[in-house]
A = this chain, B = another copy of it.
Amino acid sequence: MPVRVQVDDFDVTAETERLVGGRKDIGAIVTFTGRVRGEDDGRQVAALTLEHYPGMTETEMASIEAEAMARWPLQAALMVHRVGEMKAGDNIVLVITASAHRSAAFEAAEFLMDYLKTRAPFWKKETTPDGGSAWVEARAGDEDAADRWR
């Protein structure tokens, strides 16, 4: 099942068709798109820089996806994560899950995002409108969200 790390933006419809177009065994497709918000915990955010650990990122994402495929009856899954510079409103991450029925597709998409947020080696640096910058701190809530799948 595919995972990708890329600088370029993605198109949800095009990725979905590439993943499951023409298949007739899929009743439910869930997509999650994460975007850069212009405000984070009260700070103004003009742009984000996404850094990652090449090699480990892809391995970790593939392992998270394999775990989802083992836990839910999925016909297909895709994870795409952007790196580099992004501005407020831009896409950051895409998860697609496809299954015969909707509950598996919804649960697996949530699981993939929760694990991606706590395991995949990506780091965000925020740039404020005045030119300042700061590394984003991990949220305890993300660890809690991931823990519920244990």
Contact = CB atoms under 8 A, between A and B. Distances in A.
Interface of A: 11-14, 16, 22-39, 88-89, 100, 102-103, 105-106, 109-110, 113, 145
A103 B22 CA distance: 31
A33 B25 contact: no
B22 A26 contact: no
Given A28-B32, A29-B32, A16 B23 contact: no
A145 B26 contact: no
A27 B41 CA distance: 12
A46 to B, nearest CB: 10
Nearest to A13: B13
Nearest to A110: B106
Contact of A24 (B12, B30, B31, B88): B88
7 tightest A-B CB contacts, nearest first: A24-B38, A13-B13, A24-B88, A29-B33, A27-B37, A31-B31, A24-B89
A75 to B, nearest CB: 10
A64 B145 CA distance: 27
A122 to B, nearest CB: 15
24 contacts: A12-B13, A12-B16, A13-B13, A23-B89, A24-B37, A24-B88, A25-B37, A26-B35, A26-B89, A28-B34, A28-B35, A29-B31, A29-B33, A29-B35, A30-B30, A30-B32, A30-B109, A31-B31, A31-B33, A32-B106, A37-B100, A102-B113, A106-B106, A106-B110
